[in-house]
């Protein structure tokens, strides 16, 4: 027994260890499967991506108030590490606009820009983000990104776009504005200093924007930002605009990305960075997996979100140790990589190497790049982040998603961005929990064709049977909602002693759900009825079996969807109620039943006083028939179809509806034993006969069901 327990523990550990080895040895898998035929397409795609990356890496680093070379270092290291350890062929990892703004929002409250402390904090933040993503990947928590709704991403991206736009206005106009993570503070400061606009800088920025927009209209595949930066840099060089107040980047340092050791033991700094790092980690993973998924739909590639988490984690950790900052997947560069014809993830390795080559050879030419031109690049990117078409779709499609989108966007403008991200994620999770905790639970009846069930609404219902459909998961958060609706329906229809639960749309049931079902079963059985379930899925039924709920309910109470109503109608419900007390025809099985209103058909001379009708048990009737059968007359008061399916031997048929008229034909000198299915109709018939003057009237207790259950045979016509 001990050996079995060890195996139960060891097997999952071994499987998890194999998964970790597989995650971490991803580069070996890529290189083993690499083909010579892929080299040239990957090389050309990598060159194309590098051309797009160069201006973006510099601009996004400046967006975070980091030196431009930090963006280039990040683009080199992250592109290579993300490609080798990620899952997507085309996803390019590196600096992005949203991530850069989140980094700025987090770091600006901790250290002053352009200080060694600021750079070290940026590197440490990248490592923290990387560790979070790596742990999530190794723990196979890729499914968690599904809890961040698209409305949060759309709202956050739109808010971030507005923040980037406002933050870059100070560089476009060359206005001295104090750094602030708050939208309104920055906007107010720009409004105050608008009179100090430097017109040459503004002109260069507008030229940059015009070139990018114009190139896109001509050919979207051309590197518009790079061309704009080349043109504006030439203008600065030819007309010496730097001597006339235009701010330029200055020469970039040459060489490989330097190795640094961030303060990974500074617990106080880690605590200050953790909230922002958690927000960046979550949003970055959602962005990366969403981008990879969109491109994979077109390329036909199969993705592993957990492997992608590992790749994103290692890319950030590597960037942190090699003078970079937090990175994520880029939609623009990934799309360029796909359209450029990349065949494997090695294309992104080539892209990183080409950026490195540019840093080693042509970085000196970046010295004259005007800061206003980079602001123009970022302003165009910020405008593209506001997805007006998707926002309009959300506005028209869902009120809940619209509220989440607007709330997240406003939070991004009012709160520090990292808290806006976390609040958006929390709202998404809360909304998910609220929605799943209130699954759809509706009393239903057949439609006019008896082919489907529809909500009751204003339709009549069966007086004996409640049919309730449940759609959703029966987990701890939803059980009270489901049980409340079932109990409310039971209180509204006290005559419905039987319940059919349609669970074919229930995909999960935990122990709380089982306890709720047990409570419902006890409720109906205490009322003299019972509960039946149809359409239960295999996984849910297995769960019920493991907790022994199937024993409590009974194996014969699990019914097939197509036969459940028929079974309950013929085997469970009391036909007398259908015939004498219900004027509706709810189910297909009701259509052939005769309907008779006792009050309207009974002769005026017959009333319904309350008589005490004696009853005999089946064994007692059997014994009396054996001893003195000639003095006993058996009368079956059911309908002809019921009688033909099986009746007590020697019983003659007089349907209940004929008792007031044909009862006069019965002898007064014999004991009349009245029989129905369960004893309800026969007791009513006995009351009528008593009122007509018959003294020797007896009811068979439990009817034909009790007779058959006692082991006595039924005669079949």
Please report how many Cα atoms fall inside a 13 Å half-sphere around the Cα of residue 26, on the Cβ side: 26
Residue among 589, 604, 285 at smallest CA distance from 425:
285
Residue among 100, 617, 583 at smallest CA distance from 374:
100
Measure Cα distances from 147 to 275, 307, 436, 509 in Å.
18, 19, 12, 20
Cα 530 from Cα 468, distance rounded (Å): 14
- Region for 703 from its dihedrals, namely left if φ exceeds 0, alpha if ψ lies in -120 to 50, beta otherwise: left
CB within 8 Å of 300: residues ≥ 6 apart: none
* Secondary structure (H, E, C), 63-119: HCCCCHHHHHHHHHHHHHHHHHHCCCCCCEEECCHHHHHHHHHHHCCCCCCCCHHHH
Cα 230 from Cα 377, distance rounded (Å): 12
SS3 for 333?
Answer: helix
Backbone φ and ψ for 590, nearest 5 degrees, come out as -75, -20
Cα 490 from Cα 238, distance rounded (Å): 87
Query: Which ranges of 108-197 would DSSP assign to H, the alpha helix?
Result: 116-138, 150-173, 183-193
Sequence-separated contacts (24+) of 34-42 with Cβ below 8 Å? 34/344, 34/346, 38/343, 38/344, 38/346, 41/341, 41/342, 41/343, 41/347, 42/342, 42/343, 42/344, 42/346, 42/347, 42/350
Report residue 129 CA to chain centroid gap. 25
Catalytic one of 327, 509, 590, 676: 676
Q: Examine the residue annotation and report whether 676 is marked as an active-site residue of this protein.
A: yes
Which residues are marked as active site? 676
């Amino acid at each position: 027994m001990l050996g079995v327990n060890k195996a139960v523990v060891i097997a999952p550990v071994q499987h998890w260890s194999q998964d970790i080895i597989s995650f971490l040895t991803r580069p070996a898998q890529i290189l083993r499967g690499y083909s010579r035929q892929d080299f040239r397409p990957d090389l050309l795609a990598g060159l194309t991506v590098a051309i797009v990356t160069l201006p973006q890496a510099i601009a996004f680093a400046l967006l975070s108030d980091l030196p431009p070379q930090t963006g280039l270092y990040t683009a080199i290291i992250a592109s290579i590490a993300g490609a080798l350890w990620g899952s997507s062929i085309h996803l390019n990892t590196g600096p992005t606009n949203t991530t850069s703004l989140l980094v700025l929002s987090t770091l600006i409250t901790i250290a002053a820009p352009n200080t060694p402390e600021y750079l070290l904090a940026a590197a440490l933040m990248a490592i923290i983000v990387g560790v979070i993503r790596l742990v999530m990947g190794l723990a196979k928590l890729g499914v968690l990104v599904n809890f961040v709704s698209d409305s949060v991403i759309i709202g956050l991206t739109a808010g971030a776009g507005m923040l980037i736009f406002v933050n870059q206005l100070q560089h476009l106009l060359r206005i001295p504005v104090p750094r602030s993570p708050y939208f309104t503070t920055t906007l107010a400061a720009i409004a105050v200093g608008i009179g100090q606009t430097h017109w040459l800088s503004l002109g260069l920025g507008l030229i940059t924007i015009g070139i990018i927009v114009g190139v896109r209209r001509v050919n979207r595949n051309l590197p518009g930002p790079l061309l704009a930066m080349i043109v504006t840099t030439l203008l600065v060089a030819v007309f010496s605009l730097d001597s006339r107040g235009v701010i330029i980047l200055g020469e970039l340092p040459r060489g490989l990305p330097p190795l640094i050791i961030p303060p990974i033991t500074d617990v106080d700094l880690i605590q200050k960075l953790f909230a922002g790092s958690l927000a960046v980690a979550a949003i970055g993973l959602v962005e990366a997996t969403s981008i990879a998924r969109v491109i994979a739909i077109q390329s036909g590639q199969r993705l592993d979100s957990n492997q992608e988490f590992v790749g994103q984690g290692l890319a950030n950790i590597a960037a942190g140790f090699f003078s970079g900052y937090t990175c994520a997947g880029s939609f623009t560069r990934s799309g360029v990589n796909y359209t450029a014809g990349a065949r494997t993830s090695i294309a992104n390795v080539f892209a990183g190497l080409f950026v490195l080559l540019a840093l080693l050879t042509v970085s000196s030419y970046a010295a004259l790049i005007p800061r206003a031109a980079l602001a123009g690049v970022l302003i165009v990117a910020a405008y593209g982040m506001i997805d007006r078409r998707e926002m309009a779709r959300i506005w028209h499609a869902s009120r809940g998603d619209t509220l989440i989108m607007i709330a997240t966007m406003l939070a991004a403008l009012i709160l520090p961005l990292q808290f806006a991200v976390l609040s958006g994620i929390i709202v998404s999770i809360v909304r998910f929990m609220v929605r799943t905790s209130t699954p759809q639970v509706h009393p239903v009846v057949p439609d006019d064709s008896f082919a489907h069930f529809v909500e009751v609404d204003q339709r009549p219902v069966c007086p004996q049977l409640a049919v309730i459909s449940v759609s959703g998961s029966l987990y701890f958060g939803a059980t009270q909602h489901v049980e409340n609706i079932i109990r409310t329906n039971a209180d509204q229809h006290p005559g419905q002693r039987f319940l059919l639960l349609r669970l074919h749309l229930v995909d999960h049931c935990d122990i709380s759900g089982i306890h709720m079902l047990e409570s419902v079963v006890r409720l109906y059985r205490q009322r003299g009825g019972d509960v039946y379930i149809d359409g239960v899925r295999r996984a849910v039924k297995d769960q019920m079996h493991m907790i022994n709920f199937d024993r409590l309910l009974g194996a014969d109470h699990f019914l097939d969807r197509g036969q459940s109503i028929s079974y309950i109608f013929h085997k469970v419900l009391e036909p007398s109620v259908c015939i004498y007390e219900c004027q509706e025809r709810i189910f297909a099985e009701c259509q052939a039943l005769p309907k008779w209103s006792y009050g309207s058909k009974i002769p005026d001379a017959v009333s319904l006083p309350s008589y005490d009708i004696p009853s005999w048990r089946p064994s007692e009737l059997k014994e009396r028939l054996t001893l003195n059968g000639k003095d006993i007359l058996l009368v079956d008061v059911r309908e002809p179809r019921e009688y033909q399916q099986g009746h007590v031997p020697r019983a003659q048929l007089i349907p209940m509806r004929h008792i007031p008229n044909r009862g006069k034909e019965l002898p007064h000198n014999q004991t009349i034993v009245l029989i129905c299915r369960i004893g309800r109709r026969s007791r009513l018939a006995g009351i009528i006969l008593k009122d007509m003057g018959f003294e020797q009237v007896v009811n068979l207790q439990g009817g034909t069901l009790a007779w058959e259950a006692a082991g006595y045979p039924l005669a079949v016509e």
